[in-house]
Amino acid sequence: MSSPLNPSPSGAVRERSGAELTPAEIPLDPSWSATAMLRTDNAKEALGIRVLELARGRAVLDMVVRDDMANGFGIAHGGMVFTLADTAFAYACNEAETAVVASGADVTFTRATHAGDVLTATAERRWLSGRNGLYDVTITDQHGSVVAEFRGRSFATNRAIPAPA
């Protein structure tokens, strides 16, 4: 069985009862760029996004909607929901040794969320061919209701991943 301290042979690191996976629990693997991202992702840290599960081609992240993430109507700003989905997409698609970036993304919002809600984004690879990929992300609230669906298109660059400081 895979665990954060004992990754499976595929490099998968699995969830620990909803607790955040930390860089100390996930070894830096030069063949898996998401493991470097985990150490250098300032946006994730600033927004309080947590990585709960990480595997090549799959990631589960969550975020508590804060008061400062609400728009003028008192609901979570769509950009915040998009950012959570985009971050989960980034962790799922960075599954090789080079930096992978988004070449496009679409989101459909299905339900409003509010401050205090816990949003969970589950990203999964749907297709990968050459340097291009397609990933779907489902965002749910703490009740399991779908609040948004996101589809990201990835492009694998030939750039090496930045070294963690």
Cα–Cα distance between 106 and 45 in angstroms, integer? Answer: 24
**For residue 1, pLDDT beyond 90:** no
Q: Give the per-residue pLDDT at 162.
A: 75
Cα–Cα distance between 56 and 70 in angstroms, integer? Answer: 32
pLDDT band for 160, please (50, 70, 90 cuts).
Answer: confident
Q: Give the per-residue pLDDT at 15.
A: 54
Q: Give the per-residue pLDDT at 5.
A: 35
Q: In the block, which residue shows the tokens 């040794």? A: 97
Cα–Cα distance between 156 and 70 in angstroms, integer? Answer: 34
Q: Give the per-residue pLDDT at 101.
A: 97
Strand order, beta sheet including 146-160? 50-55, 58-64, 118-129, 132-140, 146-160, 98-109
Q: Give the per-residue pLDDT at 165.
A: 66
Q: Give the per-residue pLDDT at 150.
A: 98
**For residue 7, pLDDT beyond 70:** no
Q: Which domains does the chain have, with CATH numbers?
A: 33-160 (3.10.129.10)
pLDDT tens-digit series, residues 94-147: 999 999 999 999 999 999 999 999 999 999 999 999 999 999 999 999 999 999
Q: Give the per-residue pLDDT at 4.
A: 37
Backbone angles phi, psi at 51, to 5 degrees: -90, 120
Q: What is the DSSP letter of 13?
A: B
Q: Give the per-residue pLDDT at 9.
A: 41
Q: Give the per-residue pLDDT at 19.
A: 87
Q: Are 68 and 133 in contact (CB under 8 A)?
A: no
Q: Give the per-residue pLDDT at 8.
A: 42
Residue 12, Cβ neighbours under 10 Å: how many?
Answer: 15
What is the maximum span of the chain, computed from C-alpha positions, in angstroms? 48
pLDDT tens-digit series, residues 38-93: 999 999 999 999 999 999 999 999 999 999 999 999 999 999 999 999 999 999 99
Helices (H) and strands (E) in the chain, counts: 3, 6
